[in-house]
Chains A and B, each alone.
Chain A
Amino acid sequence: MSVTTDSGPFRGDDPRVRAMGEGGGRDGEFPRVTRSRRNTLWSGIGALVVVVIFATLPYTTQPGVWAILTQGLIILTLASMWNLLAGYAGLVSVGQQVFLGLGAYFILIPNMHGVSPFAALPLAAIGAAVVAIPLWWLVSRLRTAYFAIATWVLASAVALFVQQFQSIGGGTGMPLQGLQWADTNLLSADTYWVALAVAVLAIGGTYLLLRSRVGLVLTAIRDDERAARSSGVRVGFARALVFIVAAAGCGAAGGVLAIQQVAVSPGAGGVFDITWTAEMAFAVIIGGLGTIEGPIVGTVVYMVLFETLQHYNAWYLIILGLVAIGVTLFARRGLWGTVEEKFGIRLLPTGYYLWSPAERRRRIGRADRG
C-alpha cells in the first residue's frame, strides 16, 4: 500500500524513514519519499513553456486578446491569494478588496508626484502589506464567520476613510498621469506583461511558500487546526504571515488594475467593491480550495462565464455564485480537487509521497523491463 501524504513530515533523509527500511537491507526495501508519484520535471518544463507562450502573445495575437487576458490575470492573482488565505490558513476573508483598493492608491499617490505607475508597482504590494499588519492585529481577535464579516466591515471603514481625502480624489477618484501614450497598443501590451509577471510571482510565490517550512505548518492547519496547535505548531504566526503575504499580492493586483483602468475610482464598481472578493472567492471554490492548480482552473471558468455573459449585466455574477454554491455543496474539493482525487495528478506538488517498498520494487521492475 502506498500512502499519499500532504502534511507528512517524512523526508528521504529523515531517520524515521531510514529506520523503516533498515529491516530489509536490499535497496528495494527502502521506502522512498518524493514530492510526487510522477516526475515533476515535466510539469516544471510545462509551466515554463506556458509562461513563455503567454509572454509572447502580444507578438502573435490581437490587442483585444491581451486586454481580456489582463483581466483574467488580475483575477488569477487575487484568487491565488484568497486560496492561500482560505485554503491553507483557514482565514475566510470577505474584505480582500481593501488591499486591492489600497494597492491602487499606492500607485496613485506616487503617481501624483510624478512616479511612473509601472515603477510604483512594488510600492503597491509593500504598502498593502504594511497596512495589513495593524488590520491583522484587529481581525485576528475573531474566528471563522466573525472574522469574515469583520474583514468586510474593516474594508468598508478603510474605503470610507480613504474617500475622506479630497486631495486624492475623494469619493470620485482620479486618473493616472503619464499613461496617455500615443501607442495605446504598447500600453496595453505593457499592462499585460506586468499583469502576467504579477500573476506568475503570485503563483510561484505561493508554490515556494507552501514547499517551505511554513508550508508544512499551513498544510497542518488546513488538515486539522486543533491537532496542529496541540503539536506545538505556531498557528498564529503562520496565519499572520499568510494574511500579510495575501495583502501584498492583492495590493499588486490592485496596482495592475489601476494601470489597466488608467484611473483609480473608489465608488460602486471601483477598486473597493465587494464584487472583487466575490469573484476571487468563487473562482477558488469552483477550481478547488487548498490546491495551487485550483485557482487557475477557477479563473478559466470565471473568464469563460464573464466573456459569454458580460453583455447580460449582472448575470455572470449570479451564475458564478450559483455554481460556487453548487460546487461547495456537491463537489467540496472543486473541479481540480476532484480531478486530483480521481487520477492522483499533481502538477505542482507541495506535499510528499511515500513509496512503499513493494510499490517501488514493482516500479523498478517495470523500468528494467521497459
Chain B
Amino acid sequence: MAWVNAIIQGILTGGLYALFACGLSLMFGVMRVVNLAHGDLATVAGYIGVGVIAAIHVPFLWSIPIVVVIMALLGYVLQRTLIQAAINRGDLTTLIVTFGLSMVIENGLLQFFTANSRGIGVNQSIITDSFSIGSQIQIAWLDVIIFVLAVVVLLGLQYYLSSTKYGRLIRAVADDREAAQLSGADYRHVFGIAAAIAFGTVALAGTAYGMTTTIDPTTGTQTILLFAFAAVVIGGLGSLWGTLVGGIVLGVAQEIGAQINLSWELLAGYVIFLVVLIVRPQGLTSRRAQS
C-alpha cells in the first residue's frame, strides 16, 4: 500500500514538475532560448506573490492572477530587451546573459530578502486540507489542484499553439523566422508574446511551489530549474505532451526513491534522468533523434 501511495503522490508531484518545465520548453521551442534564469524567475514570482498578499491584503488566491499578469509583462519586456539583444548575438551570449541573470536574481533575493524561506498562503484551508483513500493513502487537495492546473495549462497551450490564429503565428515564427517576417509578422513582437505566455506559466509554477512547500533564494537554481530540465529531457525536447510525461516520471521516481530511503529522493530523480540520457537521449515520447 505504501508503494501505491508513493506512485500516486509521485504522479501528483509530477504535475508540479511539468508546470516547472512548461515555460522552459515553450521558450526553447519558439525562440531556441534555454533560459538558465528560468528557476530564479519562478522564485521571483513566488516572492511577488508573498509581497502582493502582504501589501494589498487580497484573499490569497486572488494574488495568483495578479502575479501571472506581472510576470507576463516582465516576460514581454525582458524578451524585447535583454533576451532579444542576446539572441541577436548568438547562442553563447544567450547562455551567458541568462546565467548572469540567474546569479543576479538569486543573490539579489538573498541580499534583500535574506536566506529565510517563505510560504504562500500558510495555514489556509485549501493548502492544508486533504482526503483519504482507505487508511493509508492521504492525498492533499492542493496537490490534486496543482496537477489538474498543470494538465489544463499544458493541454491548453498545446491547443492554443495548434488551433488558434495567434498560436499558428507563433509556430510559424518558430519554424522560419525570415519567412514569417516576409509575410508581415514582426517576429520580435511574437517572441515577446511567447515569452509573456512562458513567464505566465513560470508565475504559476513559482506560486504553486511556494504553496506546496516554501521558497528561498536558492530554490530557483537548486530545485525548479534542475527539475524542469530533467522533466524536459526525460519527456523529450520540444514537446509539451512529453513534458507532462517527463514530469510524472520524475515525480514517481523521486517518491519511489524516498520510499526506499528518505535521502535517496533527489538522487532517484537524477538516476532516471541519467538512464534516459544514456538509453534514449531523444526522450521518452520523441520519435526523431535529437540533432
Interface size (B, Cβ < 8 Å)?
45
Q: Which residue of B lies closest to A332 (CB)?
A: B89
Tell me, rounded to whole Å, the shortest Cβ–Cβ distance linking B286 to chain A: 13
Does A2 interact with chain B (Cβ within 8 Å)?
A: no
Is the Cβ of B100 less than 8 Å from the Cβ of A282? yes
Q: Which residue of B lies closest to A171 (CB)?
A: B263
With A148-B34, A148-B95: A321-B103 Cβ-Cβ less than 8 Å: yes
With A149-B36, A329-B85: A156-B110 Cβ-Cβ less than 8 Å: no
Q: Give the interface residue-count category, chain A.
A: 35 or more
Does B277 interact with chain A (Cβ within 8 Å)?
A: yes
CA separation between A145 and B263, bound complex, in Å? 30
Chain A residues with Cβ below 8 Å from B274 are: 138, 154, 157
Does A318 interact with chain B (Cβ within 8 Å)?
A: yes
Candidates B91, B107, B108, B229; contact of A144 at CB < 8 Å? B91
Is the Cβ of A314 less than 8 Å from the Cβ of B34? no
Is the Cβ of B91 less than 8 Å from the Cβ of A329? no
Is the Cβ of A156 less than 8 Å from the Cβ of B233? no
Binds A, one of B41-49, B189-197, B219-227: B219-227
With A274-B221, A313-B110, A321-B104: A144-B237 Cβ-Cβ less than 8 Å: no
With A148-B34, A153-B229, A153-B230: A322-B104 Cβ-Cβ less than 8 Å: yes
Chain A residues with Cβ below 8 Å from B278 are: 138
Tell me, rounded to whole Å, the shortest Cβ–Cβ distance linking A98 to chain B: 12
- Find residues 300-335 in chain A having any chain B CB closer than 8 Å to their own CB: 313-315, 317-318, 320-322, 324-325, 328-329, 332
Chain A residues with Cβ below 8 Å from B266 are: 156, 160
Is the Cβ of A160 less than 8 Å from the Cβ of B95? no
Q: A150-174 toward B: CB 8 Å interface, digit per residue (1/0)?
A: 1011101100110010000000000
Does B183 interact with chain A (Cβ within 8 Å)?
A: no
Does B99 interact with chain A (Cβ within 8 Å)?
A: yes
Chain B residues with Cβ below 8 Å from A318 are: 103-104, 107-108, 111
Is the Cβ of A144 less than 8 Å from the Cβ of B95? yes
- Find residues 220-263 in chain B having any chain A CB closer than 8 Å to their own CB: 221-222, 225-226, 229-230, 233, 237, 263
Tell me, rounded to whole Å, the shortest Cβ–Cβ distance linking B222 to chain A: 7
Tell me, rounded to whole Å, the shortest Cβ–Cβ distance linking A154 to chain B: 8
With A138-B277, A164-B263: A328-B97 Cβ-Cβ less than 8 Å: yes
Candidates B99, B226, B237, B264; contact of A281 at CB < 8 Å? B99
Tell me, rounded to whole Å, the shortest Cβ–Cβ distance linking A290 to chain B: 10
Does B273 interact with chain A (Cβ within 8 Å)?
A: yes
Q: Which DSSP category, helix, strand, loop or mixed, fits chain A's interface?
A: helix
CA separation between A95 and B18, bound complex, in Å? 23
Chain A residues with Cβ below 8 Å from B225 are: 149, 152
Candidates A160, A278, A328; contact of B270 at CB < 8 Å? A160
CA separation between A152 and B95, bound complex, in Å? 13
Chain A residues with Cβ below 8 Å from B82 are: 325
Does A247 interact with chain B (Cβ within 8 Å)?
A: no
CA separation between A79 and B52, bound complex, in Å? 41
Does A86 interact with chain B (Cβ within 8 Å)?
A: yes
Does A75 interact with chain B (Cβ within 8 Å)?
A: no
Is the Cβ of A278 less than 8 Å from the Cβ of B99? yes
Does B180 interact with chain A (Cβ within 8 Å)?
A: no
Q: Which DSSP category, helix, strand, loop or mixed, fits chain B's interface?
A: helix
CA separation between A160 and B268, bound complex, in Å? 10
With A148-B34, A268-B218: A325-B97 Cβ-Cβ less than 8 Å: yes
With A149-B225, A150-B233, A161-B267: A324-B96 Cβ-Cβ less than 8 Å: yes
- Find residues 268-299 in chain A having any chain B CB closer than 8 Å to their own CB: 268, 274-275, 278, 281-282, 285, 289
Residue among A152, A153, A161 having the largest count of chain B Cβ atoms under 10 Å? A153
Q: Which residue of A lies closest to B267 (CB)?
A: A160
Q: Which residue of B lies closest to A170 (CB)?
A: B263
Q: Which residue of A lies closest to B263 (CB)?
A: A164
Is the Cβ of A156 less than 8 Å from the Cβ of B270? yes
With A153-B273, A157-B267: A329-B233 Cβ-Cβ less than 8 Å: no
Is the Cβ of B281 less than 8 Å from the Cβ of A141? yes
Q: Which residue of A lies closest to B35 (CB)?
A: A145
Does B149 interact with chain A (Cβ within 8 Å)?
A: no
Does B139 interact with chain A (Cβ within 8 Å)?
A: no
Q: Which residue of A lies closest to B261 (CB)?
A: A164
Chain B residues with Cβ below 8 Å from A160 are: 266-267, 270
CA separation between A321 and B290, bound complex, in Å? 32
Chain A residues with Cβ below 8 Å from B273 are: 153, 157
Does A81 interact with chain B (Cβ within 8 Å)?
A: no
Tell me, rounded to whole Å, the shortest Cβ–Cβ distance linking A257 to chain B: 19
CA separation between A282 and B107, bound complex, in Å? 15
Q: B22-61 toward A: CB 8 Å interface, digit per residue (1/0)?
A: 0000001000011010000000000000000000000000
CA separation between A281 and B96, bound complex, in Å? 8
Q: List the 6 closest pairs (A to B, CB-CB), nearest first.
A: A145-B34, A157-B270, A314-B107, A321-B104, A325-B100, A321-B103
Apart from A150-B229, A160-B267, A275-B103, what are 15 other A-B pairs with CB-CB below 8 Å?
A: A92-B95, A92-B96, A138-B277, A144-B34, A145-B94, A146-B237, A150-B233, A150-B277, A154-B274, A156-B226, A314-B108, A314-B111, A318-B111, A320-B103, A322-B100
- The contact sample of 5 A-B pairs, CB cut-off 8 A, is A145-B28, A152-B229, A164-B263, A274-B221, A324-B96
B residues in contact (CB < 8 Å) with A: 28, 33-34, 36, 82, 85-86, 89, 91-97, 99-101, 103-104, 107-108, 110-111, 218, 221-222, 225-226, 229-230, 233, 237, 263-264, 266-267, 270-271, 273-274, 277-278, 281, 290
